[in-house]
Structure 1
Amino acid sequence: MQSNIGLILEERAADIGNFLVGRLLPFREKRAVGPFVFIDHMGPTLLKDYQNLDIPPHPHIGLSTLTYLLEGAIFHRDSIGNAVEIKAGAVNWMNAGKGVVHSERTPEYLRNTEQKLHGFQIWVALPKEKEQSEPSFFHIEADEIPEWSVGDIHYKLIAGEAFGRKSGVPVHSPLYFLEIKSQTAQKINIGHELFGEVGMYILSGFVNIEGNTYGPKQLLIAKNANLCEFEMGENTTIYLFGGEPFAEERYIFWNFVNSDKEIIEQAKVNWLNQNLSAFPKIPGDDLEFVPLPNAVLNRK
């Protein structure tokens, strides 16, 4: 029987400042899974009382950001005027559209304490017709996320639609982001519930697929979501993400995602020149910003 596993990727380290994160997407071999174009696994890490998460104001275009924490807290501010603390189990969903600026920092009340930080930072590309939309922001509390159990298997639909359920996260294209936990070894066949492209990230424990065992920090990309069958080991947690891919290629430079390279080039110029009409300042966090990385501006 031909394997349904099209690609096996290992989590790799990426430096975001105060600590390393495990980058899952993009890879040279696979730039996107459905509309998902970027996934960072943060931690788990213990920040000492003299350490903090401080990601200064930086811009985005053409994507939605999804922040989902397993442990810890992050304070989000953006140029739309939102100032929200995200805690474990909640979801921050920010639609960058034509341009937004945001910062992510340790909340003030935690800045002189030891703190754990663990979670995911995800970018979802926008449909072509929404790439130039007005930016928006939604915060969904943990108790608003659909959760259910079937025997010893616990499901959480963090975003999108699956299993006849719909998350309150206002996504812009057909997708899903699922957490699945098992206390005991279980066989699972959920291909009929999924669609498009699908990736599986193993957070803890192991899964057995077609006689092969895969463990933590591995990302598996399926060839066909309709053939999603696997066995979960005891005390295993996995994440499934995917959906319908877009017809057009998405280009990525730094924090900019778009189907049009010219729009990305203009975003570079706007951020380099601190064009406030394109990228407004963040109320309450406007004293610093992340500079544009060294890159050639492809001006005509």
Structure 2
Amino acid sequence: MPDDLLLQTLRPVSHDLGGFKVHRTLPHKERTTVGPFIFFDQMGPAQLPPGEGIDVRPHPHINLATVTYLFAGAIEHRDSLGTRQVIEPGAVNLMTAGRGIVHSERSPAGLRAGGPELSGIQTWLALPSDKEEIDPTFQHVPRGSLPLIQGAGARARVVMGTLWGETSPVTQHSPTIYADIALEPGGSLPLDPLADERAVYVAEGDATLDGLTLEPAVLYVLRPGLAATLRSARGAHVMLCGGAPLDGPRHVWWNFVSSRRDRINQAKEDWRAERFPLVPDDGAERIPLPVVTPKTVSYP
């Protein structure tokens, strides 16, 4: 039976950010992580007005890694390590916060006049407890360096981990799988049980999994050990994510993730006291610590 394929169906909380929508499926009230994925956002698709763009001012992170992956448009990343990198569709930006990093994300200046596109997925990965305080790093892997699997009306780009016999060069801090799957009309692709925890997400189009219809913008958590096949009648864009379970609970407050609540409290004070490093050439403004204190959430 199709329902035997799934552990959970996680419907998104959607936010209109003025010009584009964000659909968030992790964290969710019914489940907070899939493998190391502790945050899963779909941005857009959107066409912003001419002269405008996204401007996410400098803000901090600790004890996590962010993964930015675009379907359309471009984002300029800057961080306190001195990195300045434009990411475009099919490439990967992996920013490992470790003991602490500050970054900003903005539409490139050269794209604003025509009205930039924005479409993609941004995720956070919780770091293993023994790697939470590693030195911060940044890794950009271009589109052409990611393995591409093709066949049966399907193309799959391995964003992280090992899938279909191919391994991505993107760093893994713990066992992780992440793939971008494009299904042509009538296309299909098998999903083998290569990770303890897995989920599929239809970003666009129509897809089924062994006959079960998958709705767009919903994260479907698969049962362990399941082998199943993705299919599409009219074409679809699907993301596969997952990996090994976390090695213990995590606490989340604003942009901070940690296995220790006291570490999050220290990060709050460090940001309030301006002890985090600045982003070169983008240090004139920053996102302040929230005035209305968000609840600290503990994730098992």
Tell me if both proteins adopt one fold, taking TM over 0.5 as the criterion: yes
Q: CA deviation at 1:225?
A: 4.5
Aligned partner of 1:64 in structure 2 is 65
Q: CA deviation at 1:205?
A: 2.4
Q: CA deviation at 1:191?
A: 2.2
Per-residue deviation, residues 138-174 of structure 1 (Å, max 9, x unmatched): 1111111110202212111011222221111112111
Deviating 4+ runs (over 4 angstroms): 15-18
Give unmatched runs, 5+ long, in structure 2: none
Q: CA deviation at 1:234?
A: 3.3
Q: CA deviation at 1:15?
A: 4.9
Match of 1:286 among 273, 280, 283: 283
Q: Does 1:43 align with 2:71?
A: no
Contact 1:81 1:282 in 2 (8 A): yes
Aligned partner of 1:120 in structure 2 is 121
Q: How does 1:1-300 map to 2 (within 5 A)?
A: 1=1, 3-15=4-16, 19-192=20-193, 194-209=194-209, 211-275=211-275, 279-293=276-290, 294-295=292-293
How far apart, CA to CA, are the structure 2 residues paired with 1:191 and 1:148?
Answer: 14
Contact 2:187 2:235 in 1 (8 A): no
Per-residue deviation, residues 109-164 of structure 1 (Å, max 9, x unmatched): 12222121111111011111110000000111111111020221211101122222
Q: TM-score, structure 2 length as denominator?
A: 0.92
| Number of residues of Structure 1 aligned to a counterpart in Structure 2 | 294
Contact 1:128 1:259 in 2 (8 A): yes
Relative to structure 1, the CA distance from residue 186 to residue 69 in structure 2 (aligned partners, 3 Å threshold; closer, same or farther) is closer
How far apart, CA to CA, are the structure 1 residues paired with 2:236 and 2:295?
Answer: 46
How far apart, CA to CA, are the structure 1 residues paired with 2:228 and 2:250?
Answer: 26
How far apart, CA to CA, are the structure 2 residues paired with 1:181 and 1:111?
Answer: 28
Q: Which amino acid aligns with 2:143?
A: A
How far apart, CA to CA, are the structure 2 residues paired with 1:271 and 1:156?
Answer: 37
Aligned residue for 1:3, secondary structure, equals: helix
How far apart, CA to CA, are the structure 2 residues paired with 1:36 and 1:146?
Answer: 21
Per-residue deviation, residues 30-77 of structure 1 (Å, max 9, x unmatched): 101000000110100111113210000000001111111111111110
Q: CA deviation at 1:14?
A: 2.7
Contact 2:154 2:188 in 1 (8 A): no
Q: CA deviation at 1:18?
A: 5.7
Give unmatched runs, 5+ long, in structure 1: none
Q: Which amino acid aligns with 2:95?
A: M
Q: Which amino acid aligns with 2:198?
A: V
Contact 1:43 1:118 in 2 (8 A): yes
How far apart, CA to CA, are the structure 2 residues paired with 1:297 and 1:21?
Answer: 21
Aligned residue for 2:287, secondary structure, equals: coil
Contact 1:33 1:198 in 2 (8 A): yes
Bigger mean CA deviation after superposition, 107-116 or 133-142? 107-116
Relative to structure 1, the CA distance from residue 112 to residue 231 in structure 2 (aligned partners, 3 Å threshold; closer, same or farther) is closer
Relative to structure 1, the CA distance from residue 72 to residue 188 in structure 2 (aligned partners, 3 Å threshold; closer, same or farther) is closer
Q: CA deviation at 1:188?
A: 4.1
Aligned residue for 1:265, secondary structure, equals: helix
RMSD: 1.9
User: Identity of counterpart residues, as a percentage?
Assistant: 37
Per-residue deviation, residues 247-293 of structure 1 (Å, max 9, x unmatched): 20111111101111110111011111111xxx100000000110111
Q: TM-score, structure 1 length as denominator?
A: 0.92
How far apart, CA to CA, are the structure 2 residues paired with 1:226 and 1:5?
Answer: 9
Relative to structure 1, the CA distance from residue 46 to residue 230 in structure 2 (aligned partners, 3 Å threshold; closer, same or farther) is closer
Q: CA deviation at 1:16?
A: 5.0
Aligned residue for 1:226, secondary structure, equals: coil
How far apart, CA to CA, are the structure 1 residues paired with 2:86 and 2:127?
Answer: 25
Aligned residue for 1:110, secondary structure, equals: helix
Contact 1:58 1:101 in 2 (8 A): yes
